[in-house]
């Protein structure tokens, strides 16, 4: 018989009879186990596990059937020889399917593979009228990209359930009707990136539960109905960047709990309902250049990053409910830091283990930030700048008392309660410019005297619009405060 039969398909019948009463049929052994079954009354053999009827794996299937009448029995030896069927029906090149007729016509060829890209829909901002992909159910692999884009009437992806290999990107985007990904359960490894964006009705990623590895980026953008990504819990590897942005109803990223590392950047932005990022709790390394947490209006803390010890550049901005950054207390090494427009943060103690920033520091527009004590062990700040600006509750620079060197420009601007520069008395060099502007209560700049006396300022000195604005020479001469 041919390989690849259907489950339950008839194979043949074992004949047996007796001169008195009736006989029964049973299987006493078979190899491989579980391949076929037998009807105990009729002797009819049927396919039990169709996956075992594969010529490449089991060219011959054998077994023994007992034909019995009470205690009297005979054995029949069963041998099934499989015919090798040419299973590959390959479409060479790439194909775009834009109409339902095109889907049906292409599907009627029963292709098992496409060497190039499969585009279902359009890349030209035109919505297809495709409603049903079921005729594509013979497809198993795609050598290029799988693009499902601009399909306003397509609700489900039934027909793609047998695809197990996509050699390039998978893009699911701008589909107004798709509400689940159930038929993508055959995907286990993606050899490029996965992008899921602007699918208006998509609520979850059910269907991707077998996905284990993504070799490049994971991008989840602007899916307004997306509530969770829990189906990704078996994902253990992402080879490059993770971006989760603009998903208005997404409350957490618990689906990423299987990850222990991120090889590229991490960006979590503009998810208005996100309450926490605790799904990152098992990650111990992030090897990309930047981590950005911004514009997440409901985010209260950064718990989930507790196991991270080293980052390059960290940006935390415009998180209107963020109360603290204590989830970063494990950090030992950080090259660059920007904390801005987080109105509820009161301290930055999470950075107390850092001794240098090679790529600059910006701390600005944090309404309730009253202390920089989390920077107390910082000896040097490299990069283009150290900026402390528009922090309306900051009264002093306590926390910068260990600072010795600023490689670029030092900006201290628009901190209305800041009264003195005392904590900068150990500052030895500023590699470029010194800008101190518009600090309404600033009357004492004596902390800058050692810097200027030792000619440690590399370039321009600008001090104006403060309560007191001494010249560089004034400070050198000791006329540094009111």
Q: Which tens digits make up the pLDDT trace of 281-311?
A: 999 999 999 999 999 999 999 999 999 999 9
Q: Using the Cα atoms of residue 201, residue 279, residue 343 and residue 377 in order, give the sign of their dihedral.
A: negative
* Mean of pLDDT over the chain: 96
In the CATH scheme, what is the homologous superfamily, with its name and number, of domain 10-81?
Cadherins (2.60.40.60)
Judged by DSSP in three states, 192 sits in coil
- Kindly state the DSSP code that residue 14 receives in the 8-state scheme: -
pLDDT of residue 126: 93
Query: Which pLDDT does position 86 carry in this prediction?
Result: 66
Report the pLDDT value the prediction gives residue 214, as an integer from 0 to 100.
Answer: 97
373-392 residue pLDDT tens: 999 999 999 999 999 999 99
For residue 87, the model assigns a pLDDT of 61
**Cα gap 42→450, rounded to integer Å:** 103
Q: For residue range 435-453, what is the model confidence (pLDDT) as tens digits?
A: 999 999 999 999 999 999 9
* pLDDT tens figures, 174-191: 999 999 999 999 999 999
pLDDT of residue 337: 98
* pLDDT recorded at residue 101: 98
Average pLDDT over residues 146-173: 97
pLDDT tens across 396-410, in order? 999 999 999 999 999
Burial of 203 (0-12, 13-18, 19+ CB in 10 A): middle
Per-residue model confidence (pLDDT) at position 88: 76
Residue 237 clears pLDDT 70, i.e. is over it = yes
Tell me the C-alpha distance between 436 and 415, whole Å: 10
DSSP code, position 162: T
pTM for the structure as a whole: 0.81
pLDDT at 85: 77
d(CA 333, CA 368): 26
Q: Which residues, including other chains, have CB under 8 Å from residue 409's CB and lie 6 or more apart?
A: 384, 385, 386, 430, 432, 433, 434, 435
**DSSP for 393-424, written as a single string:** T----TT-TT--EESSEEEEE--TT--B-GGG
Q: What is the mean pLDDT of residues 344-366?
A: 97
Q: What percent of the chain has pLDDT over 90?
A: 96
Instruction: Give the SS3 label for residue 482.
Output: coil
Q: How many CB atoms lie within 10 A of CB 246?
A: 19
- What's the pLDDT tens digit per position in 20-45? 899 999 999 999 999 999 999 999 99
> Are 159 and 182 a contacting pair, CB within 8 Å?
no
pLDDT in tens, 56-109: 889 999 999 999 999 999 999 999 999 987 667 999 999 999 999 999 999 999
CB contact at 8 A, 130 and 152: no
| Cα gap 302→8, rounded to integer Å | 54
- Are 111 and 134 in contact by the 8 Å Cβ rule? The answer is no
φ, ψ of residue 475 to 5 degrees: the values are -65, -45
Return d(Cα 336, Cα 314) in angstroms, integer. Answer: 6
Q: 3-state SS string over 257-305?
A: CCCCEECCCEEEECCCCCCCCHHHCCCCEECCCEEEEECCCCCCCCCCC
Quote the CA–CA distance of 230 and 246 in Å, as a whole number.
Answer: 18
Give the whole-angstrom CA distance, residue 434 versus residue 81.
86
Q: What is the DSSP string of 448-480?
A: GHHHHHTT-B-S-EEEESSS----HHHHHTT--
The reported pLDDT for the residue numbered 427 is 98
* Bridge-based pairing state of the strands 60-69 and 72-81: antiparallel
Length of the chain: 482
* In the predicted structure, residue 202 carries a pLDDT above the cut 70: yes
Cβ–Cβ < 8 Å for 406, 431: yes
């Amino acid at each position: 018989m041919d390989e690849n039969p259907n489950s339950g398909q008839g194979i043949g019948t074992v004949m047996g009879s007796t001169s008195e009463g009736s006989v029964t049929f049973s299987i006493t052994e078979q190899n491989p186990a579980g391949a076929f079954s037998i009807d105990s009354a009729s002797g009819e053999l049927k396919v039990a596990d169709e996956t075992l009827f594969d010529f490449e794996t089991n060219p011959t299937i054998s077994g023994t059937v007992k034909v019995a009448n009470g205690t009297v029995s005979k054995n029949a030896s069963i041998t099934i020889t499989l015919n090798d069927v040419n299973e590959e029906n390959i479409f060479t090149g790439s194909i775009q399917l834009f109409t339902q007729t095109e889907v049906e016509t292409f599907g009627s060829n029963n292709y098992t593979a496409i060497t190039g890209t499969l585009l279902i829909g359009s890349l030209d901002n035109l919505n297809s009228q495709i409603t049903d992909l079921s005729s594509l159910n013979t497809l198993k692999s795609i050598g290029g990209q799988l693009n499902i884009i601009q399909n306003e009437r397509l609700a489900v992806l039934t027909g793609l359930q047998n695809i197990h290999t996509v050699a390039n990107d998978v893009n699911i985007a701008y589909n107004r009707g798709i509400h689940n990904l159930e038929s993508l359960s055959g995907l286990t490894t993606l050899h490029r990136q996965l992008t899921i964006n602007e699918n208006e009705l998509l609520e979850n990623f059910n269907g991707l539960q077998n996905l284990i590895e993504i070799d490049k980026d994971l991008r989840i953008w602007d899916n307004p109905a997306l509530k969770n990504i829990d189906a990704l819990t078996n994902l253990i590897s992402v080879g490059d960047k993770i971006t989760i942005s603009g998903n208005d109803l997404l409350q957490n990223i618990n689906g990423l709990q299987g990850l222990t590392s991120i090889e590229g950047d991490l960006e979590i932005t503009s998810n208005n309902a996100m309450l926490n990022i605790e799904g990152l709790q098992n990650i111990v390394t992030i090897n990309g250049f930047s981590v950005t947490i911004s514009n997440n209006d409901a985010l209260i803390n950064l718990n989930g990053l507790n196991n991270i010890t080293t980052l390059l550049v960290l940006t935390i901005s415009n998180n209107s409910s963020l109360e603290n950054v204590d989830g970063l207390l494990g950090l030992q090494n950080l090259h660059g830091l920007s904390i801005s427009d987080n109105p509820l943060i009161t301290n930055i103690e999470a950075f107390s283990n850092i001794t240098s920033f090679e790529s600059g520091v910006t701390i600005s527009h944090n309404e309730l930030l009253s202390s920089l004590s989390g920077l107390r062990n910082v000896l040097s700040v490299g990069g283009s700048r150290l900026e402390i600006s528009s922090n309306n509750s900051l009264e002093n620079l306590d926390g910068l008392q260990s600072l010795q060197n600023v490689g670029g420009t030092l900006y201290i601007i628009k901190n209305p309660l800041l009264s003195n520069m005392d904590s900068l008395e150990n500052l030895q060099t500023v590699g470029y410019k010194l800008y101190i502007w518009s600090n309404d209560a600033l009357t004492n700049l004596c902390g800058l005297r050692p810097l200027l006396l030792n000619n440690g300022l590399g370039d321009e000195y600008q001090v104006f619009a403060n309560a007191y604005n001494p010249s560089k020479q004034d400070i050198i001469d000791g006329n540094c405060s009111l």
